[in-house]
């Protein structure tokens, strides 16, 4: 077999193969015959440590292969090639003292050539050929080894990418299935609650209890959607932190207040231990509270009734350390490295707990990283609870004052508000909410009707859906702004899209404010306050 024929055949088989180990053994056997060699070694790089793992070999016994299954970088010829990313050719090995060749000298090897397997600047492993019968290799033989190594590196990179794509596809399918499950869970009590409220017996405390359940479950749905949007913003680099000196004890207090209902509902107790003196970090108070709240919710999800969650805050060597520990089901040690991966759903074998979307902890890691910190997870294994530790750099800066913006609950009556939305139920419910706040609200089901109502009603505030058929929200806003009354009104975009691109479009179209559906009562109340000047 000639050289070109060998390389062409090698390339074709590598392109068709889906089993790296099997194809390496077959091809390298043919290459060994072509080069008149007696042995070869193919090591692959470990993703988690500077070491190599033996993937395939020939010319040594199984016992020897087991002894050299793992090889640290810098050890023996292949370890040095992996460390330095450079080829090594060793010749006349029995007569040349070189500690790098001690291992292969014991195999009776006289000539040895090892190449690094590189793809896009990353080390994938090594490939080496050796001969016991001659002390050197010819230049053309080394060129064949180099060519085969290049082909194998490309094939390994392709297989690794295909494996990653399959894993991503599997995670996506699991995520979508879990998302459907997570959404059905809160929708069930909401639906049942609606039926109860329709009944004649739904009065007084019973009605209040049903409304409380429905509100809590609706908050859960909103939280799921918000987490999805947050991850999307962070991954695309479109999230901006509003940095200021923040007291971490205050952040913990806000997070506990947010997560307490969830923990109480699950029968999980909580304790908080913080230093007496304020501990400041340079951070975004909203995002940091989100970090702590996500950790608390995660702990509550995987802790059985009667368990507890402990939050501690301390500092040393310029770093603040915030710890959330639970007495829950724990995490298998081998799965600890995966808990912060996006869409990773670690099965903790707790019947009542749902796996979740695999978003909350990924969001925690990304937000902590944006603050220049780090987060780690520890667990002694299943049944031994878990601990999540956040480390953030402290700051010497002290805030000049606190700005705790609040909106008065004493809404003025009679403020004229127009709701334009083709979703009749959404428009009607928004109108009723506005009326409970003292507003004089009207509803229009499309853009053209909205413009007509606006011209006679003259509202000071307009809630405007963007995705209406016919005249959409952008065009409706432009029509309103073209009128004298429209130039003075406050226009609020209502949309399910909260990304920076949509916000930029609404601003360019003349909107004053942007609310992502479903808007909370607090959001609507704040908008009313803005509309009142």
pLDDT for 394-453, tens place per residue? 987 666 544 343 334 444 457 899 999 998 888 888 898 898 888 999 999 999 999 999
3-state secondary structure of 135: coil
Handedness of CA 60, 61, 62, 63 (dihedral sign): negative
Nearest to 395 by CA among 246, 270, 190, 515: 246
How confident is the model at residue 397, as a pLDDT? Answer: 67
Give the model's confidence band at 269: pLDDT under 50 very low, under 70 low, under 90 confident, else very high.
very high
Report the mean per-residue pLDDT for the chain: 83
Q: Is 312 helix (H, G, I), strand (E, B) or coil?
A: strand
- 416-531: CATH number: 3.40.50.2300
CA 186 – CA 215 distance, rounded (Å): 10
Q: What are phi and psi of 72, to 5 degrees?
A: -70, 150
The yes/no answer on whether domain 3-165 falls in CATH 3.10.20.600 is: no
Nearest to 182 by CA among 363, 343, 365: 343
d(CA 75, CA 78) in angstroms, rounded, equals 7
Among 36, 41, 2, residue whose Cα is nearest residue 136: 36
Q: What is the pLDDT of residue 379?
A: 93
Interatomic CA distance for residues 219 and 212, integer angstroms: 11
The closest of 57, 91, 49, 55 to 74, measured between CA atoms, is 49
Q: What is the mean pLDDT of residues 17-32?
A: 73
Q: What residues does 389 pair with on adjacent strands?
A: 323, 376
d(CA 167, CA 268) in angstroms, rounded, equals 35
Name the 3-class secondary structure at 278. coil
Q: What interhelical angle do 139-198 and 3-16 show, nearest 10?
A: 10
**Residue with the larger pLDDT of the pair 376 and 404:** 376
Q: Of 470, 472, 521, 511, nearest to 490 (Cα)?
A: 511
Distance CA 122, CA 45 (A): 10
**Is the Cα dihedral 480, 481, 487, 491 positive or negative?**
positive
Q: Are 5 and 11 in contact (CB under 8 A)?
A: no
pLDDT in tens, 35-55: 889 999 999 999 888 999 999
For residues 111 and 93, the answer to whether their CB atoms sit within 8 Å is yes
Q: Compute the average pLDDT of residues 517-528.
A: 82
pLDDT at 526 (0 to 100)? 84
Which ranges of 68-198 does DSSP label H, i.e. alpha helix? 76-84, 102-105, 139-198
Handedness of CA 1, 107, 145, 151 (dihedral sign): positive
**Global confidence as pTM:** 0.46
The region of weakest confidence among 36-50, 149-163, 232-246, 304-318 is 232-246
Question: How far apart are the C-alpha atoms of 260 and 262, rounded to whole Å?
Answer: 5
CATH architecture for the domain at 169-235: Orthogonal Bundle (1.10)
Query: Is the pLDDT reported for residue 481 higher than 70?
Result: yes
The structural domains of the chain, with segments of one domain joined by +, span 3-165, 169-235, 244-393, 416-531
Choose among 221, 209, 324, 205: nearest CA to 263.
324
- Answer whether residue 136 shows pLDDT above 50: yes
Looking at the predicted structure, is the pLDDT value of residue 265 above 90? no
Rounded CA-CA distance 102/76 in Å is: 7
- Residue with the bigger pLDDT between 325 and 191: it is 325
Q: Which residue has the higher pLDDT, 21 or 481?
A: 481
122-131, strands of its sheet edge to edge:
70-72, 51-58, 39-45, 122-131, 111-119, 88-90
Check pLDDT > 70 for residue 388: yes
User: Please, which pLDDT band fits residue 17 given cuts at 50, 70 and 90?
Assistant: low
Q: Give the list of residues 6+ apart from residue 40 with CB closer than 8 angstroms, or none.
A: 28, 31, 32, 56, 57, 58, 59, 127, 128, 129, 130
Yes or no: say if 490 and 460 are a contact pair by the CB < 8 Å rule. Answer: yes
Q: How confident is the model at residue 254 (pLDDT cuts 50, 70, 90)?
A: confident
Average pLDDT over residues 303-323: 94
**pLDDT tier, 480 (very low <50, low <70, confident <90, very high otherwise):** very high
- Higher-pLDDT residue of 68 and 213 is 68
Give the chain's largest Cα–Cα span. 102
Q: Would you say 464 and 417 are in contact if contact means Cβ atoms under 8 Å apart? A: no
Most confident segment among 3-7, 16-20, 267-271: 267-271
CA nearest 129: which of 2, 38, 24, 20?
38
Sorted by sequence, the CB contacts under 8 Å of residue 56 that are 6+ apart come out as 21, 24, 25, 28, 40, 41, 42
pLDDT band at 345 (very low <50, low <70, confident <90, very high): low
Confidence of residue 219 (pLDDT cuts 50, 70, 90): confident
DSSP code string of 344-385: -------TTS----S-HHHHHHHHHHHTT-EEEEE-SSTTS-
Say what the pLDDT of residue 52 is: 95
Looking at residue 232, its pLDDT comes to: 63
- Strands 111-119 and 88-90 turn out to be antiparallel
Q: How far is CA 260 from the centre of its chain?
A: 25
CB atoms within 10 A of CB 254: 16
Confidence of residue 177 (pLDDT cuts 50, 70, 90): low
Does the structural domain 244-393 have CATH classification 3.30.565.10?
Answer: yes
pLDDT at 348 > cutoff 50: no
State the helix-helix crossing angle for 204-235 and 139-198, rounded to 10 degrees: 160
Interval 62-117: pLDDT, tens = 999 999 999 999 999 999 999 999 999 999 999 988 999 999 999 999 999 999 99
386: pLDDT strictly greater than 80: yes
- Alpha-helical (H) ranges within 236-328 are 248-265, 285-301
Is pLDDT of 195 > 90?
no
């Amino acid at each position: 077999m000639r050289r070109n024929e060998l390389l062409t055949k090698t390339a074709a088989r590598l392109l068709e193969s889906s089993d790296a180990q099997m194809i390496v053994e077959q091809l390298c056997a043919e290459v060994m015959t072509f080069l008149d060699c007696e042995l070869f070694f193919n090591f692959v790089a470990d993703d988690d440590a500077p070491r190599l793992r033996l993937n395939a070999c020939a010319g040594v016994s199984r016992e020897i292969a087991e002894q050299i299954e793992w090889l640290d970088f810098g050890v023996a010829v292949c370890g040095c090639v992996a460390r330095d990313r450079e080829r090594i050719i060793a010749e006349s090995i029995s007569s040349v003292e070189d500690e790098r060749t001690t291992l292969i000298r014991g195999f009776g090897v006289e000539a040895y050539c090892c190449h690094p397997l590189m793809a896009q600047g990353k080390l994938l492993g090594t490939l080496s050929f050796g001969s016991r019968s001659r002390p050197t290799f010819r230049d053309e033989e080394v060129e064949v080894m180099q060519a085969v190594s290049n082909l194998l590196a490309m094939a390994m990179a392709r297989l690794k990418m295909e494996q990653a794509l399959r894993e991503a596809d599997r995670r996506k399918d699991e995520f979508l299935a879990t998302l459907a499950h997570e959404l059905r869970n809160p929708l069930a009590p909401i639906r049942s609650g609606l039926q109860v409220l329709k009944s004649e017996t739904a009065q007084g405390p019973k009605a209040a209890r049903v409304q409380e359940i429905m509100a809590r479950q609706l908050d859960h749905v909103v939280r799921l959607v918000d987490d999805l949007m947050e991850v999307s913003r962070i991954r695309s680099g479109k999230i901006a932190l509003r940095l200021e000196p923040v007291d971490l004890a205050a952040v913990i207090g806000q997070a506990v207040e947010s997560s307490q209902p969830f923990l109480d509902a699950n029968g999980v107790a909580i304790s908080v231990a913080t230093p007496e003196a304020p501990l400041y970090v340079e951070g975004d108070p909203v995002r940091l509270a989100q970090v702590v709240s996500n950790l608390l919710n995660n702990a509550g999800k995987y802790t059985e009734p009667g368990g507890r969650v402990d939050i501690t805050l301390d500092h040393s060597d310029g770093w603040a350390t915030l710890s959330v520990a639970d007495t829950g089901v724990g995490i298998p040690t081998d799965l600890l490295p995966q808990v912060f991966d996006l869409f990773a759903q670690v099965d903790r074998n707790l019947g009542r707990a749902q796996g979740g979307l695999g978003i909350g902890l990924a969001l925690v890691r990304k937000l902590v990283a944006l603050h220049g910190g780090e987060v780690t997870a520890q667990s002694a294994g299943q049944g031994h609870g878990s601990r999540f530790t956040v480390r953030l750099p402290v700051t010497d800066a002290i805030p000049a004052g606190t700005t705790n913006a609040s909106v008065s609950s004493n809404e003025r009556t009679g403020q004229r508000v127009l709701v334009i939305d083709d979703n009749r139920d959404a428009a009607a419910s928004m109108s009723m909410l506005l009326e409970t706040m003292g507003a004089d609200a009207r509803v229009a089901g499309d853009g053209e009707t909205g413009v007509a109502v606006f011209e006679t009603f003259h509202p000071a505030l307009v809630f405007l859906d963007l995705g209406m058929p016919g005249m959409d929200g952008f065009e409706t806003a432009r029509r309103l702004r073209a009128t004298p009354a429209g130039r003075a009104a406050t226009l609020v975009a209502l949309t399910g899209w909260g990304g920076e691109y949509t916000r930029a479009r609404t601003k360019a179209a003349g909107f004053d404010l942007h609310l992502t559906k479903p808007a909370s009562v607090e959001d609507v109340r704040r908008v009313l306050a803005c509309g009142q000047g």
